[in-house]
Amino acid sequence: MTAEMFPKEKTIDLRKKHIGPSCKVFFSHDPIKIVRAKGQYMYDENGVRYLDCINNVAHVGHSHPMVVKAGAEQMELLNTNSRFLHDNLVQYAQRLQATLPEKLSVCYFVNSGSEANDLALRLAWEYTGHKDVITLDNAYHGHVSSLINISPYKFHQLANAEQSKSVHVALSPDLYRGNYRQDHPDPATAYADDVNNLIQKAHEKGHKVQNKNADKLQQCVCARVLPYQCTVPLPHRHVHQAGGLFIADEVQVGFGRVGTHFWAFQLQGEDFVPDIVTMGKPIGNGHPMSCVVTTREVAEAFKNSGMEYFNTFGGNPVSCAIGLAVLDVIEKEDLQGNALRVGGYLMRLLEQQKEKHPLVGDIRGRGLFVGAELVRDRVKLTPATAEAQDIIYKLKEQHILLSADGPHRNVLKFKPPMCFSEEDADMVVEKIDQILTGTRNLAIVI
Amino acid sequence: MTAEMFPKEKTIDLRKKHIGPSCKVFFSHDPIKIVRAKGQYMYDENGVRYLDCINNVAHVGHSHPMVVKAGAEQMELLNTNSRFLHDNLVQYAQRLQATLPEKLSVCYFVNSGSEANDLALRLAWEYTGHKDVITLDNAYHGHVSSLINISPYKFHQLANAEQSKSVHVALSPDLYRGNYRQDHPDPATAYADDVNNLIQKAHEKGHKVQNKNADKLQQCVCARVLPYQCTVPLPHRHVHQAGGLFIADEVQVGFGRVGTHFWAFQLQGEDFVPDIVTMGKPIGNGHPMSCVVTTREVAEAFKNSGMEYFNTFGGNPVSCAIGLAVLDVIEKEDLQGNALRVGGYLMRLLEQQKEKHPLVGDIRGRGLFVGAELVRDRVKLTPATAEAQDIIYKLKEQHILLSADGPHRNVLKFKPPMCFSEEDADMVVEKIDQILTGTRNLAIVI
């Protein structure tokens, strides 16, 4: 495979012709063609180097040689399904288990975060016998149809969105812009009470309308809770009391990204153990793979449904070899420690920007999962959406890849490969500083 | 990665401990540990060679060097998401399109047949505005929750199965054991009429109960229709007249396996063009990837819903490089031609077995997708389920891997890697002959 076959214009034309128009490119007015990447850097067809602040999937760094070698060697040897015994599968399950609370001991290997979250729902539905789900406002859990139902981030995009009656959307525990903020005496309890209220309401409706429909309730929160520094154990208790299960979606935030812990849910303390954990994006450094881990009880209940679970590609020896190599690299290169150090450093730099530029309203995050929310007014919190887009585009011109996220698309979101360095942090924040300094007068004109 | 790390017993123990108990192994009483594979052969931890008659996923042969090389080289260079422009993506889409009718020009790349079929449903739902689905009895379309709903093969396994009201199960067009058989004057029309009746009934209910629910109807049939040699255009016309779309599920049977054509739906004639085609298993020779192809009209309707479609791993440069290599090998080694020749040869050998052994009731298939149905009585068609299992186990002892499928698990199913040879066919049929000769007296005792 050569690095480039077509001139960029032809690539764009062919893409328009043959790729679904719902599949967007970054910077649609002038998209980037990347032909190779290494570590935290990507290179376009002219050899121009971009600093990558967005690709959390390339977790241990783009094209990491240890991961590439493990994949290539195993491909040469064997790639088949998990109906045959293979050591990579069990060794990988064992290694993953060692990072988790003992109770979470049973793995299902699948191909994507979406497949993982869909299977998590199936496990929970089977265990509890009920279908109701509590999800957080603005949450995103995947692209298959069952998950769009529980992803307000997605179903709010639909022209004629229709929320399923068995899906209950809880307040996003956002201390900056949410219903209960920093000035609230006890926001954790307030947000937990919201979950409890949803449970009660569902129970009432359930008893009146369908009798058994609402006993079971789940929550899929970690990815979204994290930036908002809320605590989970309280709603977790409410969910358990209602006979529900708690699913921790670690697709975005797992594998050491939060710095202090290997899994984001572990930020909630040692006593907090979700019933199901789903993994994805970083697990194979870009290779399509993912995993669901649960307790023996949930796994046995699923088995007792009588339905076999078979996933053609899930848990194949190549995916597992790659997964093992990713774990090795995280350990060997102390990438979790790096996330803690560099993430902390990046947050301090951004805090300085907040002091300097009124547009920077809030800095939040953990490890190398950091958000900087831009606002036009620090009291009204008017989202600075256009300004965020402007920064993203200007950074691109300076060969830095950053994105804006959040319901108002006004949060600069840093989730770089975990080998991101302090020098990289210096570079991106310096450029942001220059852009903010340049646009300050502009912002007043708007 | 070494070929073996643990003694087999330890692998089994770890699997029991850490892998979901719903995930079955082949030959559960004495599972096989495979450590390497090449072409149509797999090797266990002691170097024993097995002839592989079942792994349709290893389409161009296990560990094909051209596929391995393409994957390894691209992994070394770049593996990232499709929000960046990349030539592999568009070149692969172009190459796939060239195998399909011109109308089927828009691709969505995903990670598995299940993701493909779920997306196909989403495309159809969006285009038609309705949710009803016609599926065939015994059909299997994937393991995510939306697909279990339309897979009688799966939902019949559930202890307390509940068929969704928007799913309509059509008769399986089985000329051997189905409602309308070889002796029927016009089974194609009879089976098509069944589809039409389902449409009418759904319309009636729809008008009475929900008014708009049943205008849209789909059918996912190719994989199951094939072995039964029924014709599709007639039900296709009924579905189109009702404003529905026709989805051809090529996950099992695509990529030249049927011998005469590259896609199984092409067996229905040049005029027959499905609205959506889904691909999977063989597409990446074991690498997790898959694709949905549809028309511009359906793709635009999906876009107009306002929801972006993003799949983290789908269409990454490594998957596309592997996909391209698979297409190259099929062409270079004329594997479609091989499927036609060897598949025809295999069917002739099996027909001879049918003449010789009363247990062999029916031989059917196309190319290297062949079934031999075993019955205890050729008039009553009593399924010879135990006998089929016995053959499978005895073949395993002789180092041949074959499986039994179908609602009664009495159909010996051949779907080997496409490099399967006439000598391989001779070998497996000779062994079957020996086993059938040996068990004939036994069968009478049963």
What 3 state SS string does chain B have?
Answer: CCCCCCCHHHHHHHHHHHECCCCCCCCCCCCCEEEEEEECEEEECCCCEEEECCCCCCCCCECCHHHHHHHHHHHHHCCCCCCCECHHHHHHHHHHHCCCCCCCCEEEEECCHHHHHHHHHHHHHHHHCCCCEEEECCCCCCCCHHHHCCCHHHHCCCCCCCCCCCEEEECCCCCCCCCCCCCCCCHHHHHHHHHHHHHHHHHHHHHHHHCCCCCCCCEECHHHHHHHCCCCHHHHHHHHHCCCCEEEECCCCCCCCCCCCCCHHHHHCCCCCCCEEECCHHHHCCCCCEEEEECHHHHHHHHHCCCCCCCCCCCCHHHHHHHHHHHHHHHHCCHHHHHHHHHHHHHHHHHHHHHHCCCEEEEEEECCEEEEEEECCCCCCCECHHHHHHHHHHHHHCCEECEEECCCCCEEEECCCCCCCHHHHHHHHHHHHHHHHHHHHHHHHC
Model confidence band, residue A177 (pLDDT cutoffs 50, 70, 90): very high
pLDDT for the residue A192: 87
CB B132 within 8 A of CB B217: yes
Cα nearest neighbour of B97 on chain A: A18
Name the residue with higher pLDDT: A132 or B206: A132
In this complex, the residue of A18, A84, A304 whose CB is nearest that of residue B32 is A84
Q: What is the pLDDT of residue A254?
A: 96
Minimal CA separation from B96 to chain A, in Å = 10
Question: Nearest Cα to B130, choosing from B205, B51, B76?
Answer: B205
Q: How far is B193 from chain A (nearest CA, A)?
A: 31
Residue with tokens 């307390």: B160
State chain A's mean pLDDT as an integer. 90
DSSP H or E stretch at residue A293: strand A290-294
Q: How far is A430 from chain B (nearest CA, A)?
A: 25
Q: Is the per-residue pLDDT at A345 higher than 50? A: yes
Is residue A290 a contact partner of residue A112, using CB atoms and an 8 Å limit? yes
Contact: A112, B312; criterion CB under 8 Å:
yes
Count of residues making up chain A: 446
Chain A closest CA to B296's CA: distance in Å? Answer: 8
pLDDT reported for residue A239 = 84
B53 CA to chain A: closest CA distance, Å?
14
Q: What is the pLDDT of residue A17?
A: 98
* Minimum-distance CB partner of B11 among A85, A113, A119: A85
What per-residue confidence (pLDDT) applies to B228?
35
Question: Is the distance from CB of A288 to CB of A116 less than 8 angstroms?
Answer: no
The CATH fold of domain B65-332: Aspartate Aminotransferase; domain 2 (3.40.640)
Count the alpha carbons within 13 Å of B290 in the hemisphere toward its beta carbon.
Answer: 30
pLDDT tens for chain B, residues 1 to 446? 456 789 999 999 999 999 999 999 999 999 999 999 999 999 999 999 999 999 999 999 999 999 999 999 999 999 999 999 999 999 999 999 999 999 999 999 999 999 999 999 999 999 998 888 999 888 889 999 999 989 988 877 776 667 788 899 999 888 899 999 989 999 888 988 998 899 899 888 863 333 332 223 333 322 333 333 345 677 778 888 888 899 999 999 999 999 999 999 999 888 899 999 999 999 999 999 999 999 999 999 999 999 999 999 999 999 999 999 999 999 999 999 999 999 999 999 999 999 999 999 999 999 999 999 999 999 999 999 999 999 999 999 999 999 999 999 999 999 999 999 999 999 999 999 999 998 655 544 44
- pLDDT tens-digit profile of A362-390? 999 999 999 999 999 999 999 999 999 99
Please tell me which residue, B445 or A214, carries the higher pLDDT value. B445
For B8-60+334-445, CATH gives 3.90.1150.10
Tell me which residues of chain A, numbers 281 to 320, contact chain B at a CB-CB cutoff of 8 Å: 281, 285-289, 294, 299-300, 302-319
The predicted pLDDT at position B226 comes to 35
Give the mean model confidence (pLDDT) for residues A319-337: 98
Type of residue numbered B363: I
Quick: pLDDT tens for A199-212: 899 888 863 333 33
DSSP assignment of A207-254 equals: IIIISSTTS---EE-HHHHGGGT---HHHHHHHHHTT--EEEE-TTTT
Interchain pair A20, B285: CB under 8 A: no
Query: Tokens in use for B385?
Result: 């389920």
**What chain B residue is nearest to A14 in terms of C-alpha separation?**
B90
Q: Which of B406, B396, B344 is CA-nearest to residue B375?
A: B406
In the structure encoding, which two tokens stand for residue B424, read together?
Answer: 């391989």
pLDDT of residue A204: 86
Nearest CB neighbour to A73, from listed B1, B91, B143: B1
The CA distance from B362 to B350, in Å, is 9
Q: Which amino acid is at B55?
A: N
Element of type H or E holding A327: helix A317-332
Give residue limits of the domains in chain A.
8-60+334-445, 65-332
Which residue in the set A5, A14, A309 is minimally distant from B23, CB to CB? A309
**Rounded distance, CA B264 to CA B247, Å?**
12
Q: What are phi and psi of B388, to 5 degrees?
A: -65, -45
Task: Determine whether the interchain pair B23/A57 forms a contact, defined as Cβ–Cβ distance below 8 Å.
Answer: no
Determine the pLDDT at residue B441. 52
Distance from CA of A18 to the nearest CA of B (A): 5
Residue B298 structure tokens = 């359906």
Chain A contact present for B279, CB below 8 A: no
Alpha carbons B142 and B150: distance in angstroms, whole number = 9
A22 in contact with B, Cβ within 8 Å: yes
Compute the average pLDDT of residues A318-332: 98
Q: For position B238, what pLDDT does the model report?
A: 83
State CA B198 to chain mean position distance. Answer: 25
| Cβ neighbours of residue A11 closer than 8 Å, sequence gap 6 or more | A33, B85, B86, B87, B90
Q: Does B12 touch chain A (CB under 8 A)?
A: yes
Summarize the confidence of residues A310-332 as an average pLDDT. Answer: 98
3-state secondary structure of A140: coil
Query: Residue A230: pLDDT band by 50, 70, 90 thresholds?
Result: very low
Residues A100/B26, Cβ–Cβ less than 8 Å: no
- On whether the CB atoms of residues A197 and A332 are closer than 8 A, the answer is no
Position B216 scores a pLDDT of: 30
pLDDT value, residue B160 = 65
A window 35-54, beta carbon within 8 A of B: 35-37, 42
Closest-approach residue (CA) in chain B for A76: B63
Tokens 């799966």 map to which residue? B154
> Is the reported ipTM for this assembly greater than 0.90?
yes
